[in-house]
A and B are shown apart, each in its own frame.
Chain A
């Protein structure tokens, strides 16, 4: 099982998180066309390679995290709190899951 390096809690088992999905901007509801809106809802790149995703640490800090993950190797490049911008480098990292 993959370890996800939470910027707040340190590396934790992926089962502590909920995978929210690929991150993308929300179109303006006032001007959006059905095509644009449904692209936002349903069309995901699903690329083999680096992908920016949102994960929710439901059994930990309960923060939404922006994760850059390589979908083939599960290598994780950066993890950032979506609200505070906090990254692993900016917090002391407990290694409790290790």
Chain B
């Protein structure tokens, strides 16, 4: 990990850090992030600064309808005026990803959204409890094949799939979130995106998971690139 910026400590400004060391540390939105920019088409970026909120509710009830995403799938939803990626991470479990710093607001919006369902629900900000990386590129499925027993071919795990499995012996939520697809009309337009996977595990294993992916991808030219955010095409 990088040395902490000494001036930040002196000024008593709280800087949040990812568990994954940044090669070229810089501060953005209150988080220390990596300023490295990759040149190749196969990249790994640390997306830990994204707000990560867990939702628990009955798997098939009113909460699911309100969230608009079922187990095993993902969707981009507007919640409280923010664009949020929601993944049906487990039976009765959802993971909402938002822009850095929006965790508390997202919790409040989701609680408001679910309040009317009458179901037993809970909403928990896990931004600091999880590590999140994005593996992107045409060769991403073959990199994952080195560390994960799941079949990541297009037919079995198409864009928009959410699943949980073991990646390099760490329990990991895997969300396929391809780049360049029109999610709503992909089938109709035949648009094919670049395979892109969000991998989400408990925080303390983040560095290990990133290292395992980099090792598995070394032969394919996997490079580290800096924080990209949820919608880099807009940022």
Whole-angstrom distance from the CB of B155 to the nearest CB of chain A?
Answer: 9
Q: A-side binding surface: helix, strand, loop or mixed?
A: loop
Question: In the bound complex, do residue A84 and residue B59 qualify as a contact, i.e. CB atoms below 8 Å apart?
Answer: yes
Residues of B within 8 A of A92 (CB): 72
> What's the interface size class on A, roughly?
20 to 34
Tell me if B151 is interfacial: C-beta within 8 Å of chain A. yes
Tell me if B187 is interfacial: C-beta within 8 Å of chain A. no
Question: In the bound complex, do residue A96 and residue B90 qualify as a contact, i.e. CB atoms below 8 Å apart?
Answer: no
Whole-angstrom distance from the CB of B159 to the nearest CB of chain A?
Answer: 14
- Per-residue 0/1 for A48-88: is the Cβ within 8 Å of any B Cβ (1 yes, 0 no)? 00000000001111110000000000000000010010100
In angstroms, Cα B161 to Cα A58, docked, is: 20
Tell me if B171 is interfacial: C-beta within 8 Å of chain A. yes
In angstroms, Cα B171 to Cα A12, docked, is: 13
Residues of B within 8 A of A98 (CB): 151, 156
Look across to chain A and name the residue whose beta carbon is closest to the beta carbon of B149: A13
Question: In the bound complex, do residue A94 and residue B90 qualify as a contact, i.e. CB atoms below 8 Å apart?
Answer: no
In angstroms, Cα B196 to Cα A76, docked, is: 34
Given A81-B91, A94-B72, A96-B156, does the pair A9, B163 have CB atoms closer than 8 Å? yes
- Per-residue 0/1 for A1-18: is the Cβ within 8 Å of any B Cβ (1 yes, 0 no)? 000000011001101100
Question: In the bound complex, do residue A96 and residue B91 qualify as a contact, i.e. CB atoms below 8 Å apart?
Answer: no
Interface residues of B (CB under 8 A from A): 59, 71-72, 90-91, 149-151, 156-157, 161, 163-166, 171
A-B contact pairs, 20 of them (CB 8 A): A8-B71, A8-B91, A16-B165, A58-B171, A59-B164, A59-B165, A59-B171, A60-B163, A61-B91, A61-B164, A62-B90, A62-B164, A84-B91, A94-B157, A95-B156, A96-B151, A96-B156, A96-B163, A97-B150, A97-B151
* A-B CB proximity, top 3 nearest: A59-B166, A96-B150, A59-B171
